[in-house]
A and B are shown apart, each in its own frame.
Chain A
């Protein structure tokens, strides 16, 4: 573990979930998507940490909290290379691989300016389309496709 050989920038947790290798600029969006602002558990996080893989990365450690796959998979939309480690007694007991869910409710905005979801208080809904390793999102309402490389995340205060 790259963090453990050196001094830990974000202190270890005894039990819980560690979300590592989050692109630094997506850290707060991950917090948004997982609604961590409502979470009562101890949360420590760091961002703009050096990373060989990402340049700058973010990390979040949530004590005594474990996520369902359908919750945690949502972050694959913005942080596909994130690593999810489940911690028991300071040890990693499970590593989870995340993948973009087949259906997405909320989180991303439809790219079509003329889509009803961009004008009325309506929760967005998409079907994930996978083609040759590329993901895009088919809007349930306007039936237009939002490209996976070009998504806008809906902020939680909207």
Chain B
């Protein structure tokens, strides 16, 4: 089986650092020709704007050509074609497959049957490893290091997959965590057990205003309506945090605000011009990190 990137656990610390190094090269040289003549399939079984455009731009900037679909409505999947058949066929055409799928585990399954590498661009509430890598890249870029970062994760810590993957990836680098969430959206026990086992300490709070001062990174997340089965529950917590400029007065000068985007009400638009805001640059970094992932999996870097 060729090397795929399905889950952040698939990467060792060394591989993570290598990909971040390559991403830095890509940032310096964002137009390359190393993948001239290669074809990359972009299979989006579920709609996405940022992730898909970012991956496709990354492929184009490396010189590859992109085939694929942005939604399944005009594909054979609507005729009942199985995932297995779709992947078998596309892996005959392309040199690498990027896929997003609403079902959890679909990219792992695809990687088992594909003859070319598969990159998971998000599978339901499960994994989204390129997001985690771009978060790490942005932390490294803004703080100059990954070790001993004081990071405050805010919002939906229960369902937010970006939070779960990032805390697991950061566990290689002795982080200091604060988890800021309302009672209903606190970090699940399994992740606290994971941190306990690794000997990583953390604080839990529901008070955003009071937990800002020590952070190097403020990692904001959206409360995702689609994860709630009970609409009442969602109404209770949807606007629980709203970051505004005033709250940032006590922040450390090096503190940067990250957000996987899209944001709704959790960051006031008046923060966008603030020196601490970094989420748009973070999204841009996604492109360089995806260039690095693609060239690494294809054996070029």
Which residues in A have some Cβ–Cβ distance to B below 8 Å? 110, 112, 114-117, 119-122, 139-145
Contact = CB atoms under 8 A, between A and B. Distances in A.
B15 to A, nearest CB: 19
Interface in B48-105: 82-84, 101-105
Interface stretch (B123-131, B148-156, B241-249): B123-131
A114 B102 CA distance: 8
A113 to B, nearest CB: 10
Interface string B241-275: 00000000000000000000000000000000000
Contacts of A122: 84, 109
B104 A120 contact: no
A122 B104 CA distance: 13
A143 B194 CA distance: 15
B181 to A, nearest CB: 21
B82 A140 contact: no
A143 B104 contact: yes
A143 B123 CA distance: 11
Contacts of B114: none
A90 B289 CA distance: 68
Interface string B114-137: 000000000111110000000000
Interface residues of B, number: 18
Most buried by B among A112, A116, A121: A116
A119 B123 CA distance: 14
9 contacts: A110-B105, A115-B105, A116-B101, A116-B103, A116-B104, A116-B123, A140-B105, A143-B7, A143-B127
A114 B109 contact: no
B126 A120 contact: no
A155 B288 CA distance: 48
A143 B108 CA distance: 10
Contacts of B101: 116
B82 A144 contact: no
Interface of B: 7, 82-84, 101-106, 108-109, 123-127, 190
B79 to A, nearest CB: 15
B105 A139 contact: yes
Given A139-B105, A142-B104, A116 B127 contact: no
Given A114-B124, A114-B125, A142 B82 contact: no
B108 A114 contact: no
B164 to A, nearest CB: 10
Contacts of A115: 103-105
B282 to A, nearest CB: 25
A139 B103 CA distance: 13
A106 B255 CA distance: 49
Given A114-B104, A115-B103, A142 B83 contact: no
A112 B126 CA distance: 11
A142 B125 CA distance: 9
7 closest A-B pairs by beta carbon, nearest first, are A141-B105, A142-B104, A142-B105, A116-B105, A116-B103, A116-B106, A141-B108
A143 B6 CA distance: 11
A119 B104 CA distance: 10
Contacts of B123: 116, 142
Nearest to B110: A116
A121 B103 CA distance: 13
B83 A116 contact: yes
Given A116-B83, A140-B108, 19 more contacts: A114-B102, A114-B103, A116-B103, A116-B108, A116-B109, A116-B123, A119-B103, A120-B84, A120-B103, A120-B106, A122-B84, A122-B109, A141-B108, A142-B103, A142-B105, A142-B126, A143-B105, A143-B127, A145-B190
Contacts of A144: 104, 126
A144 B101 CA distance: 16
